[in-house]
Structure 1
């Protein structure tokens, strides 16, 4: 009888711990890193400012660590801010700026003689494949299709 009570008690405790780990309120999960909402928002806004003013996204070898150091923030806080307020992780975040820049180059007229590979390089992508994949993911079409569509208008 004692064994049954102990086993039942341990089972209930185990189930409770598993349930709590899986279903605890979201705000408790998000606050693990010690940064509050306003600090994350501030880090995100400063990240956007730096990236747009300095065209940080054009650097092919940009890393989260470099960005965090430049901002004088902890890498984890910058990462959490990007994850929280943008549509993805650091790479997707940087690529979104690169894609916007590439759209300007693809339709600007001044770069009509550039190949897609040259545009990719100009925008900070390290290779054509990553550019195509990011562009298609963001716009729903390839850079070539985008250029042709804009030139036909």
Structure 2
């Protein structure tokens, strides 16, 4: 079977169309802003669970954990794609930075609350974690969109 000769102009048009398609897909793969907000609020709620007594702490922490997992599973519904930022090598760096910043802040706030038993420490920690998740999560989503747009 022979392939027809493709001119340079036809090849250029095909490549331009591919670039446009990548741009459209890149706009769809990112999670909406409210998805990032819910993730941040769940992390803040997890921090606030440490103000609860033992039985309610376990209930609250488990509820937050299950909700966070369900939210992750529903990502494909919200983005209408099967794209996942953690599956992209370029996006991993942003995710690791997010993890490396948020986890120590969480740990420091929780340990300070355990040491001094001050509720305001948890409130401040929850607020800081929420802001960090919004900023760093948006950064990771933008990196993912760039990676898709560039065809990585």
TM-score clears 0.5: no
Greater fraction of residues in helix:
2
Q: Give the TM-score of the pair, scaled to structure 1.
A: 0.34
Larger Rg, first or second structure (1 or 2): 1
